[in-house]
Chain A
């Protein structure tokens, strides 16, 4: 899930028509078995959460952000320190960064209407 968030699962809309571009699984692209490492290591930060009554923390979905961050940091490192500051980092963004081309995506916009 975190790897999908880091690399594949884009939310794509045509800004003029408001139509979603990736309505099929072949377009939304959740990662498959062939897209994830066979050997993954996970570790817990051994500190209780002061905000919860028993010091408990979420399991399952909450560590997804950490997984996505790990993958995106690895990509940035492999590219010699390119910071994308967004996810997912899709193939086109990596190719553009590798060949020192300007990114195709536009700066983030706030809808003020």
Chain B
């Protein structure tokens, strides 16, 4: 029996500049744990499942915070809190899908401390993994969720490979819909990744959900202007209305010109390890006039290829309904 009462000791560093943070990450390598809002990190430590030797607290680095308006994009610092994202006037008016998604994350207290960077980079919520079992994601060689008796109501429908955990983030599908660019920086330079490269599934690396390397920090998220002011839709289906992870969520950005869909980006969370971009749906509605019938076709296209596990078959009609509503009800 593991005693789960206090957090094990670690060395705490609180750098005030990015250069100092990179120096610490380079010095300690994979032993270092990057701490942002702490909502995910502290649960891991409290349960004593993960025991970092070194913690680098990023909260004192001012340049990681705040929203900056640029001529061709909006840059959100990775340590901007979800409440700030939710309430920011430009995000609310131009990129409403992200504000709506941020508003549905957890509870007000968690949104006040939780950061947008932490929300997209948080770890999987598979309860077997969180329990500390030696599964594939934890570096072991078995999956406890995908067994004949595995309790996997919250798990994946698509693109599973050994691990069947899903992305828990609400803001991630909204960022996929907005074609956000994720800015990763290390002492060796900067990488700007699209959401399709930033979020990675178990086929690429079964132990991580994002392509952030140990020496790198997600410093900002950039929203390009081309989706500003589109028709947006966000909906999260969860057991309860607060402090709950999505059973399925959907985010859509649809640009309509002359009555027909010109272009769109639609993504669902909590159905695979990455926020699943629904290219088939985008293709199916392109050039069409939005109607109840088209929305219903979109819903059916979304679930093509879904493979349910023991307990998560309900996610298939749920996902079809949410995508149907996203196409039907997206508003400017």
| In-complex Cβ contact of B151 among A8, A21, A35, A99 (8 A) | A21
User: Interface residues of A, CB < 8 Å — how many?
Assistant: 33
Most central of A27, A92, A99, A101 by chain B CB within 10 Å: A92
Contacts of B310 in A (CB 8 A): 104
- Cβ-neighbour of A90 out of B106, B127, B239, B245 (below 8 A): B239
In the complex with contacts A92-B311, A96-B313, A104-B153 CB distance below 8 A: yes
Residue from the list A26, A96, A105 in contact with B244, Cβ < 8 A: A26
Of the candidates A27, A31, A35, A101, the one whose C-beta lies within 8 Å of that of B127 is A27
From residue 1 to 49 of chain A, which have CB atoms closer than 8 A to chain B?
A: 7-8, 12-17, 19, 21-27, 29, 31-35
Interface contacts (Cβ under 8 Å), in number, total 76
- Whether B131 pairs with A19 at a CB distance below 8 angstroms is yes
Which of chain B's residues have a CB closer than 8 A to the CB of A8?
239-240
In the complex, what residue of chain B is closest to A22 when comparing beta carbons? B127
Interface residues of A, dominant DSSP: loop
Task: Give the residue of B107, B240, B317 whose beta carbon is less than 8 angstroms from that of A95.
Answer: B317
| Given A12-B151, A14-B151, A101-B313: A91 and B241 interface contact (C-beta under 8 Å) | no
Per the bound structure, the CA–CA distance linking A74 and B133 in Å amounts to 40
Tell whether, in the assembled complex, residue B245 and residue A26 are in contact, meaning their CB atoms are under 8 Å apart. Answer: yes
Which residues from A are CB-within-8-Å of B133?
19
Distance to closest chain A CB from B158 (angstroms): 18
CA distance A96 to B244 in the complex (A): 20
How far, in angstroms, from A7 to B239 measured CA to CA in the complex?
8
With known contacts A8-B239, A22-B127, A92–B314 Cβ distance under 8 A: yes
Q: Please pick, from B43, B151, B237, B243, the residue contacting A91 in the complex, using a CB distance under 8 A.
A: B237
Encode contact with A along B281-320: 1 for CB under 8 Å, 0 otherwise.
0000000000000000000000000000011111001100
Interface of chain B, main secondary structure: loop
Among B55-63, B91-99, B142-150, B197-205, the stretch that binds chain A is B142-150
B247: CB under 8 A from chain A? yes
Q: How far is the CB of A95 from chain B (nearest CB, A)?
A: 4
Task: For the complex, give the distance between the alpha carbons of A33 and B240 in Å.
Answer: 10
Question: Per a CB cutoff under 8 Å, which of A12, A32, A99, A104 touches B240?
Answer: A32
Q: A5 CB to closest chain B CB, in angstroms?
A: 14
Cα A34 to Cα B243 with chains together (Å): 11
Q: Tell yes or no: B17 within 8 A of A by CB.
A: no
Check A14 against B317 for contact (C-beta < 8 Å).
Answer: no
Contacts A91-B247, A101-B314 given; does A34 touch B241 at CB 8 Å: yes
- Known contacts A95-B314, A96-B314; decide if A31 and B240 are in contact (CB<8 Å): yes
Q: State whether the Cβ of B242 lies closer than 8 Å to any Cβ in chain A.
A: yes
Asked whether B151 lies within 8 Å of A32 as measured between CB atoms, the reply is no
Q: For residue B151, which residues in chain A have a CB less than 8 angstroms away from its CB?
A: 12-15, 21
B128 smallest CB distance to A (angstroms): 8
Chain A nearest CB: distance from B242 CB in Å? 5
- Chain A residues with CB under 8 Å of B313's CB are 96, 101, 104
**Nearest 6 pairs between A and B by C-beta?**
A34-B241, A99-B317, A92-B314, A95-B314, A104-B311, A32-B242
Sample (9) of A-B pairs whose CB atoms are under 8 Å apart: A8-B239, A8-B240, A13-B151, A19-B131, A24-B43, A34-B240, A90-B239, A92-B312, A104-B153
**Chain A residues engaging chain B, CB cutoff 8 angstroms:** 7-8, 12-17, 19, 21-27, 29, 31-35, 90-93, 95-96, 98-99, 101, 104-105
